[in-house]
Amino acid sequence: MTLPDMHSAEAIPQEARAEIDRLLSSGDLFRYTAASDAPVTLLEAEFADLMGSKFALAVSSCSAALFLSLKALALPRDARVLIPGFTFAAVPSAVLHADCLPVLCEVGDNYRIDMDDFAAKLPSVQAVIVSHMRGHTSDMDAIKELCDAAGVPLIEDAAHSLGTTWNGAKIGTLGRIGCFSFQSYKMINAGEGGIMITDDADLVARAIIMSGAYEHNWKKHPVLQTAFATHQNQWPLYNLRMSNLSAAVIRPQLPHLARRVEDGRRNHDFVADLLDQSAHIHVPAPLAGEVRAPDSIQFNLVDVTDAQVATFVETAAANGVKVQVFGASTDNARAFWNWQFIPDLPELPKTRQMLMRACDVRLPVHLPTDTLKAIADVLLAAVADATEQRAA
């Protein structure tokens, strides 16, 4: 069968059109023009409600949300921020952008933070960003406990984890701040966009001002009047606001989230069960307590050479399935050694070893079962082909 474009997205719900048409007719695209009920304001209220958080601030991207989170924590210049060695390049970039220094922590072959390395490095940092990379959740109980004991603020990069839960709690609500992405390859697609959530009124007041609520525009964030008074004119304006058009695209997708999460999990587990039949493929299990919300699958090639990895990727691609091995290209933005913009970039042997064998395949949540089966068949045939060549 012909496999679909794995970057194809679900259609934006029909309800978005009337609202976008209204915005186009009125030209009311800036979030702070309307006296009340601007689409961005409504999105913030709806998202905070969905997550059970007190406050939400919608911005231009998850990277912007991470940057503003660090700025709103009012860390000193050159503060050290612990991040996983397996994340997207935007994360160390946001740290540097916020005048802080990224400290990289080892990640194990189950894609989760190595807790020994985390505990060893925690005393040297002033903040932590945990990236739930591709939705994989590290041991959040241990991380929270260590951060709380050390008095170090915890930011969750939940860009790709919307809908995941940890012991029943929503990912993104466990730390002081949670940040999410609405970029097209995430669970809710606005092309671009991000949002941060927190229960800390003072912190969100600073973030709102810095996101570009200049003059008294913060008065349109209804719940925060007392927190703001002391912050007026005290913070730079970075102008990272969200447009009403983006909010109009996002809002009608929120009611579809639970269904997308369920479909994504079922699809992932279906493909994982098939792939696990190969002795050369291992799909790491979730940690106890984690209920995933995947729109992709990651697995490790086991007992193979670099040449066999390359053959596997080529054979799968020739049969219509694009596999990325995180560490096997010169430009992958999730391989830490490609973050050459970091001063004194360290070596992380464990993380490197994982990245050289860890494969990434998108599984858009709307794929039907026969397509998922066909994808698994291509991957299984490709790994058989690649490993038989070794025997020959």
Ligand X SMILES: *Cc1c(COP(=O)(O)O)cnc(C)c1O
Q: Is 88 in the site for ligand X (CB under 6 A)?
A: yes
Contact letters for ligand X, residues 274-313 (x by CB under 6 A): ----------------------------------------
Q: Is 160 in the site for ligand X (CB under 6 A)?
A: yes
The rounded distance, in Å, linking the Cα atoms of 274 and 362 is: 16
Among positions 40, 91, 101, 274, the unique one binding ligand X when judged by CB under 6 A: 91
Nearest alpha-carbon partner for 256 in 12, 17, 58: 12
- Give me the long-range contacts of 304-310 (CB less than 8 A, separation at least 24): 304/280, 304/357, 304/386, 304/387, 304/390, 305/390, 306/356, 308/386, 308/387, 308/389, 308/390, 309/356, 309/357, 309/386
Among positions 194, 286, 294, 327, the unique one binding ligand X when judged by CB under 6 A: 194
The rounded distance, in Å, linking the Cα atoms of 316 and 278 is: 15
Stretch binding ligand X (CB under 6 A), from 55-63, 253-261, 263-271, 277-285:
55-63
Cβ proximity to ligand X, 181 vs 308, nearer residue: 181
Contact 158, 171 (CB under 8 A): yes
Contact 312, 323 (CB under 8 A): yes
Q: Is 62 in the site for ligand X (CB under 6 A)?
A: yes
Among positions 138, 164, 183, 296, the unique one binding ligand X when judged by CB under 6 A: 183
Among positions 110, 137, 164, 181, the unique one binding ligand X when judged by CB under 6 A: 181
The rounded distance, in Å, linking the Cα atoms of 336 and 345 is: 8
Beta-strand relationship, 296-301 and 358-362? antiparallel
Other CB atoms within 10 A of residue 3 CB:
14
Q: Is 47 in the site for ligand X (CB under 6 A)?
A: no
Q: Is 92 in the site for ligand X (CB under 6 A)?
A: no
Task: Please name every residue paired with 282 in a beta bridge, in sequence order, or none if there are none.
Answer: 300
Q: Is 133 in the site for ligand X (CB under 6 A)?
A: yes
Stretch binding ligand X (CB under 6 A), from 83-91, 117-125, 196-204, 229-237:
83-91
Among positions 53, 63, 138, 308, the unique one binding ligand X when judged by CB under 6 A: 63
Which two three-digit tokens encode residue 300? 């490790």
Q: Is 138 in the site for ligand X (CB under 6 A)?
A: no
**Residue 368 φ then ψ, to 5°:** -80, 165
Stretch binding ligand X (CB under 6 A), from 39-47, 87-95, 103-111, 347-355:
87-95
Q: How far is CA 133 from CA 107, 111, 185, 237, 292, in A?
A: 11, 8, 13, 30, 12
Q: Is 41 in the site for ligand X (CB under 6 A)?
A: no
Cβ proximity to ligand X, 135 vs 153, nearer residue: 135
> What is the total count of residues that contact ligand X (CB under 6 A)?
15
- Interacting residue ranges for ligand X, rule: CB under 6 A: 61-63, 87-88, 90-91, 131, 133, 157, 159-160, 181, 183, 194
